[in-house]
Structure 1
């Protein structure tokens, strides 16, 4: 059963499984901590907002200056797991457990995992892949484009991508979105050397739609409002699927790229496009 994160790029292309294990992979400075904070915010408000006055948080600390082997750093992960199991088994609750990060735990003795030099083949992340139900990979290249969350839609994976779990519409949309992005990636070397003018009309259309998809996968975070000044947005899965299917079908080919950047649902995209058009006309 999928667990909605209310993040378009995750729910559409690499959905999380309720009760599953998720790996969050990324190098330093690409937004892992902010993404974790937003996931906590979204899941807490979406699934437990009616209980906001009751304490549902337990914090376990192992300080970096403590002895790693026999001290708290080696035990803090197991202690946190025990607390989570208590809430699940004794109180019958759905529990969201974050370990940030599991590589330091293994050194001492998301899952959020630090990826040395952005290398996913490093033993730290590579040995973890087989144990996970979903992987969310953060890309420095996407981060440098100013697209957040900087989730790589091609490297991120999920075992939930099945028509029996997600439904036919979602299952049919996600691979096509990834195919368009992959085709764009394959064309980038040609564009860099020869320019857009040397592409066929079909390839130009692929590039235009891929760039819209890439920017539409961005989403303002609630926990980042104090830094960006932009209000956070929730986007439900059904709305995401319908919106991206519309992009694939060419319904929004006439919209500018900036109209799909850092917005919520497709209605906000259309409203932003109209605003940009009015400003340009004046």
Structure 2
């Protein structure tokens, strides 16, 4: 299958697009609908169904769907949820959405989906060994992929660096809240990435999140043995990665 629908469920919006997996890009413009204020699984599933219906004429009847969520996912089940309704906790999400949509559904953590997309189609394409994606935003999201195989649900934004939870010192939101200069923020990023390097010795760091558009302001200030590069797929990565993983599991 060359075209698979990817959907990204977030706290503010549900976004989806069919993905051309031969090109690693959207096959049509992204469609976005606001996340319901009462964001129970049932209410969000109704919005997801509307996104699927929007692209129905571009999908094969048996085409799977990949869906990202802002939560860990264990074998299709969501053990905890921070940004949506508490009813998500303990949800057998893959079977729930498969039943609602009438299609095979793969559920994946949003950072993990972005990491897979960057490895398959973006900044880490062709890299052998261990790739660590970090998303610098409100917190620090992470994904680890080794030779194309995902180690799911890592929370390496919460490693301890100099006695602090790393993301409370080095997330992009902290730079903004404390009005740090790029140079001052880079000092904190240096400590974070060199600690990650010491723990995992990856072959490549990929830096995502909206701030990656300004990578020239801070990445050159970092001194690491591991190469570190900006993400390429930007806000498309989660949708593309979810679609790719759904296709892989269906093949």
TM range (shorter): 0.3 to 0.5
**More strand, by proportion:** 2
**More helix, by proportion:** 1
Larger Rg: 1
TM-score, structure 1 length as denominator? Answer: 0.30
